[in-house]
Amino acid sequence: MSLLLQSSFVLLVGAFDFVCSVFGTRVDSALLLVILLSIVTGFLMTLVYRYASNQAAIRIEKDRIKANLLAVRVYRDELSVVAQSYGRVLSGTVRYLKYSLRPLLFSGIPLIILVVQADRYLGFEPLRTGQPFLVSVVSATASEKVAIHTPAGLEITAAPVHIADENKVVWRLSATKEGQYDVIIEADGQSFEKQVVASSRLTRLSQFRLQAPWWKRIWVSAEPALPRGSMIESIEVGYPFRYIDFAWMQWNWVWLLLVLSVASGFVFKWVLGVEI
């Protein structure tokens, strides 16, 4: 399972990196990527629905529901007929949902993988030069002995804030030039690297480096796990959230993907003649 997941991640990362290399420098690159993803998602979801569902059964079920709704209107004076028809509409809807469940199951897992990987690119913005950002380190025990070392291109702009309650130390850094850097966190004689990206283009970001097992890491981290049993539990880089301007509103990319992929799905339904 893990190998399958990793393979799909590698494939997706390759595809995303290729797309980013084509239009990653554009101001609207995030919007373009969401639109592209929405078209692909809409198309694939429609195809999956077409081949994973019982199209004939769905058609019959929808016709039955329509017939019962018509019966409600035509026999509105016959209470028993109306009640019976409502009951059939209800049971028909349950059956219709059952027919839809299979394609949803088929498309759900790939969709989650897609969203998780896309979030690396679209969830946060890379740091800009001169923009202050925070690096937070959570350790297993009291955090006085944790230190940070930065490469050329990154500078520490304030002393660390120690938050004893959370075993956390927070530094404020800033990038003097664009680049992909590794900051080194030193604790208890061990040192750990954490990637930091300062860039003006759309690129892959990893907000966290964690010690947690893979099923927890896949949601927020794109870096190898911290060594098991080490003093450091997590290292976080505070990338700013990304909001995408679309239709006079600022969108979280996931909501925008949902709306646009549903819209594109309906277009492909009509083009491919799929019964939904």
Partner 1 sequence: MESKQLLKTIYGATAVLLIVGTALFLWHTTKHRKWSGQQKLIILGIDGMDPQLLRRFMSEGKMPNFARLAQEGSFRELATSTPPQSPVAWSNLITGMNAGGHGIFDFIHRDPKTMELYFSTSRVTPAAHTIHIGNWTVPIGGGHAEQLRKGDAFWEILDRYGVPNSIFRIPANFPPVPVKGKTLSGMGTPDLRGTYGTFSFYTDDPSTEAGAVEGGQIIPVKVQNFQVQTELIGPDNSFRKNSPPATKSFRMTIDPLESLARISLDDQQFILREGEWSDWIHIRFEMVPFLASVDGICRFYLKQVHPRFQLYVSPINIDPANPALPISTPGDYSKALATDVGDFYTQGIAEDTKALSNGVLDDDEYLDEARTVLAEHRKIFDVELPQFKRGVFFFYFSSLDLNSHMFWRLMDPQHPAYDAALARKNGSVISDFYQQIDQVLGETLSHIDSQTTLLVLSDHGFAPYARSFNLNTWLLRNGYLRVLNRDASSSDGPFANVDWSRTRAYGLGLNGLYLNMQGREQHGIVPAGPPADALLREIKKKLLAIKDPENGFPVITRVDVAREVYQGPYSTSGPDLLVGYNRGYRAGWQSILGGLSPDILENNTNRWSGDHCMDPALVPGVLLSNRKIAVASPALTDIAPTILTEFGIPKSKGMMGHSIFYTDPKPGAGQ
Q: Which residues bind partner 1 (CB under 8 A)?
A: 132, 134, 158-165, 170-172, 238, 241
Q: Which is nearer to partner 1, 58 or 194 (CB)?
A: 194
Q: Which is nearer to partner 1, 132 or 213 (CB)?
A: 132
Give the C-alpha distances (Å, rounded to integers) separating 163 from 139, 170, 171, 197, 230.
11, 8, 11, 25, 20
- CB-based burial of residue 32 (10 Å sphere; 0-12 exposed, 13-18 middle, 19+ buried)? middle
* Smallest distance, partner 1 to C-beta of residue 95, A: 34
Location of structure tokens 């990527």:
33
Q: Which is nearer to partner 1, 157 or 190 (CB)?
A: 157
* Smallest distance, partner 1 to C-beta of residue 170, A: 5
* Smallest distance, partner 1 to C-beta of residue 47, A: 34
DSSP string across 189-208: TEEEEEEEEE-SS------E
Q: Can you state the angle between helices 2-23 and 29-52, rounded to 10 degrees?
A: 140
Query: d(Cα 107, Cα 112) in Å, to the nearest integer?
Result: 9
Q: Which is nearer to partner 1, 103 or 123 (CB)?
A: 123
Query: d(Cα 182, Cα 191) in Å, to the nearest integer?
Result: 12
Q: Which is nearer to partner 1, 132 or 227 (CB)?
A: 132
Query: d(Cα 251, Cα 30) in Å, to the nearest integer?
Result: 11
Q: Which is nearer to partner 1, 37 or 237 (CB)?
A: 237
Q: Which of 124, 125, 118, 117 is nearest to 218 (CA)?
A: 117
Q: Using an 8 Å Cβ cutoff, are 233 and 210 in contact?
A: yes
Q: Which is nearer to partner 1, 241 or 266 (CB)?
A: 241
* Smallest distance, partner 1 to C-beta of residue 165, A: 7
Strand partners, 197: 180
Q: Which of 234, 227, 157, 161 is nearest to 194 (CA)?
A: 234
